[in-house]
């Protein structure tokens, strides 16, 4: 399960909490009466920590799990391809601690110092950037995320242009390709990264977790959708969603490397990305 999916359900959870204020709201599988915890839910007043429930109070399980997503058509999907439903997500909710907010502001100040060491001019805006999924080489999800990927060379070309005018902060994880021209904070976990994104002007990256975070924080974003999934299934109207409009799109292929997705990587150029970035900046 990804953090993006965890975030998607938070707005619905807040509605359920208003309906049943005396119940402990958790996320999981209603059939099995099981729930799971996510760091996305930390500090959320509408979602109880399933690891520490009060047995004297009633519990409401929201049936939401990897086999029950509102944007997947399970009846039409196969064992090699997802088929998508038309779905309009509501921006989620994430609640930061005071420390997360303070630490994020410190990181922004360090990023500004990083910029000033190499530049005499002012930067246009602060961009929060992610270029790859943490699951790009995962044993189970690797193929899916390779098909969704825009490609390291494309991201590098984009970064080379952006860093001339924008202060770029990259969220780095173990699968990231670190770039010396961008500011990459050390020891930044997902929640702190989200808090830093809250201090930035907008997000640039692939469709996924941080795109949902940007929506939750009411931030503009330029997102690579490629030809694997359509913005009609999971995109936000106030984001710039770059989609490969082709008769094979969206393919949803997750068992083999897809030639159609490879074509999408070639068709969506750096100039296309820059057009949308300049539009919102």
pLDDT tens per residue across span 258-267: 999 999 999 9
Q: How far is CA 21 from CA 17, 29, 84, 116, in A?
A: 5, 21, 34, 50
244: nearest Cα among 269, 222, 276, 221: 269
Q: What is the DSSP letter of 72?
A: B
Across 86-107, average pLDDT: 97
Give the confidence band of 136 by pLDDT, cuts at 50, 70, 90.
Answer: low
Report pLDDT for 139. Answer: 58
Report pLDDT for 186. Answer: 84
Lowest mean pLDDT among 70-74, 129-133, 240-244: 129-133
Report pLDDT for 69. Answer: 95
Rounded CA-CA distance 126/111 in Å is 9
Q: Which residues, listed in sequence order, are joined to residue 62 by a DSSP beta bridge?
A: 27
Lowest mean pLDDT among 49-63, 91-105, 160-174, 210-224: 160-174
Q: Which residues, listed in sequence order, are joined to residue 195 by a DSSP beta bridge?
A: none
Report pLDDT for 142. Answer: 83
Cis peptide, bond prior to residue 97, ω within 30 of zero: no
pLDDT digits (tens, 9 = 90+) for 201-231: 999 999 999 999 999 999 999 999 999 999 9
Helix (H) or strand (E) holding 64: none
Across 110-134, average pLDDT: 92
Rounded CA-CA distance 216/93 in Å is 5
Report pLDDT for 187. Answer: 83
Report pLDDT for 18. Answer: 97
Token pair 């099981």 in the structure block, residue: 34
pLDDT digits (tens, 9 = 90+) for 31-83: 999 999 999 999 999 999 999 999 999 999 999 999 999 999 999 999 999 99
Domains of the chain (ranges; CATH) run 3-63 (no CATH), 98-280 (3.40.50.2000)
Within 8 A by CB and 6+ apart from 76, the residues are 83
Give the confidence band of 2 by pLDDT, cuts at 50, 70, 90.
Answer: confident
pLDDT of residue 24 exceeding 70, the answer is yes
pLDDT of residue 13 exceeding 90, the answer is yes
Report pLDDT for 174. Answer: 60
Report pLDDT for 132. Answer: 78
Report pLDDT for 137. Answer: 58
pLDDT of residue 17 exceeding 80, the answer is yes
Helix (H, G, I), strand (E, B) or coil at 134: coil
Rounded CA-CA distance 1/273 in Å is 28
Across 138-151, average pLDDT: 82
Across 195-199, average pLDDT: 98
């Amino acid at each position: 399960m990804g953090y993006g999916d965890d975030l998607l359900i938070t707005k619905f959870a807040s509605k359920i909490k208003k309906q049943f204020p005396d119940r402990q709201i958790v996320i999981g599988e209603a059939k099995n009466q099981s729930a799971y915890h996510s760091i996305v839910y930390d500090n959320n007043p509408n979602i109880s920590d399933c690891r520490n429930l009060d047995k004297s109070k009633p519990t409401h399980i929201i049936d939401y799990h990897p086999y029950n997503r509102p944007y997947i058509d399970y009846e039409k999907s196969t064992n090699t391809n997802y088929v998508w439903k038309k779905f309009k997500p509501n921006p989620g909710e994430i609640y930061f601690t005071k420390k997360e907010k303070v630490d994020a502001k410190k990181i922004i100040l360090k990023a500004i110092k990083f910029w000033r060491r190499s530049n005499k001019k002012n930067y246009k805006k602060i961009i929060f950037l992610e270029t790859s999924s943490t699951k790009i080489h995962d044993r189970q999800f690797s193929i899916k995320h390779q098909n969704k990927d825009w490609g390291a060379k494309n991201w590098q070309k984009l970064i080379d242009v952006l860093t001339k005018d924008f202060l770029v902060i990259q969220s780095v994880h173990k699968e990231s390709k670190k770039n010396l021209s961008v500011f990459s904070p050390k020891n930044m976990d997902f929640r702190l990264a989200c808090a830093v994104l809250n201090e930035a002007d907008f997000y640039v990256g692939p469709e996924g977790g941080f795109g949902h975070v940007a929506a939750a924080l009411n931030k503009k974003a330029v997102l690579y959708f490629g030809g694997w999934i359509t913005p009609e299934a999971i995109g936000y109207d106030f984001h710039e969603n770059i989609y490969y409009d082709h008769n094979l799109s969206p393919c949803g292929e997750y068992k083999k490397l897809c030639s159609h997705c490879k074509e999408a990587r070639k068709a969506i150029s750096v100039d296309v990305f820059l057009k949308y970035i300049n539009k919102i900046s």
